[in-house]
């Protein structure tokens, strides 16, 4: 039986990660958060005291990325900060950074770990570039204000000085960079189903996503 691939794309805090994880659990497929790879590259650059906009540093970090680091609790926690997210969108605009981690993403889809019969990848360019032949594609979105409120609720637990306006500005800057870059911009694939989660609960969004995937 051939392996199934589900591509889930969308902007920051659209709910795509939660939905992709839920779908993976439902189908017992492997799950890859590709944003974490870009965040990891950015964090390595930041921890070396270098600038994410320094192309050489970003490409070297991508080429030397040790995936095992993603499982280290301290590293994994630092991946989730707003600063790392913003730095990730800077390194992600560099074509050689994207090229360095493209193969690993495709291999995950083609040969999912642990003998799983399918894989779900979430990101910005899964349906368009990484897995254009995916069996099902979703593009998850939500209004920027709603996405900012969701992200702010997560982040304020670690930093109570963070304002909603600041998070909204960060999200809008990241959307603009992700959608405007020349290489693999964030874009809905022509054959992707669009799902707006602005007015949906997590359960409602999951039911809608499942219905779209199972067609």
Residue ranges in contact with ligand C5P by CB under 6 A? 12, 34-35, 38-39, 85, 88-89, 92, 123-126, 174, 178
DSSP characters for 109-135? HHS-GGG-SEEEEEESSIIIII-TT-S
How many CB atoms lie under 10 A from the CB of residue 176? 11
φ/ψ bin of 49: left (φ > 0), alpha (ψ from -120 to 50), beta (otherwise): left
CB of 173 to ligand C5P, least distance (A): 10
Which strands, in side-by-side order, build the sheet including 30-33? Answer: 30-33, 118-123, 4-9, 136-141, 193-196
Read off the DSSP letter of residue 152.
Answer: H
- Name beta bridge partners: 141: 196
CB nearer to ligand C5P: pick between 89 and 197: 89
CB of 94 to ligand C5P, least distance (A): 10
CB of 192 to ligand C5P, least distance (A): 14
CB of 102 to ligand C5P, least distance (A): 10
CB nearer to ligand C5P: pick between 12 and 24: 12
CB nearer to ligand C5P: pick between 41 and 213: 41
CB nearer to ligand C5P: pick between 34 and 141: 34
């Amino acid at each position: 039986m051939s392996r199934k691939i589900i591509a889930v794309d969308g902007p920051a805090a659209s709910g795509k990660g939660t939905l992709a994880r839920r779908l993976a659990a439902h189908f017992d497929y492997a799950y890859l958060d590709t944003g974490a790879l870009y965040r990891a590259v950015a964090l390595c650059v930041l921890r070396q005291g270098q600038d994410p906009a320094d192309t050489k540093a970003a490409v070297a970090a991508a080429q030397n990325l040790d995936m095992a680091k993603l499982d280290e609790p301290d590293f994994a926690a630092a991946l989730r900060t707003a600063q790392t997210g913003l730095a990730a969108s800077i390194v992600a605009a560099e074509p050689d950074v994207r090229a360095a981690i493209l193969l690993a993403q495709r291999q995950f889809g083609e040969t999912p770990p642990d003998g799983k019969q399918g894989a779900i990848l979430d990101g910005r360019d899964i349906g368009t570039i990484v897995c254009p032949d995916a069996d099902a594609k979703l593009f998850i979105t939500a209004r920027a204000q709603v996405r900012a409120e969701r992200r702010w609720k997560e982040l304020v637990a670690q930093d109570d000085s963070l304002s909603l306006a600041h998070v909204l500005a960060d999200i809008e800057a990241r959307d603009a960079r992700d959608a405007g870059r020349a290489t693999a911009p964030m874009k809905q694939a022509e054959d992707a189903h669009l799902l707006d989660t602005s007015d949906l609960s997590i359960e409602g969004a999951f039911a809608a996503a499942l219905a779209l995937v199972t067609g």
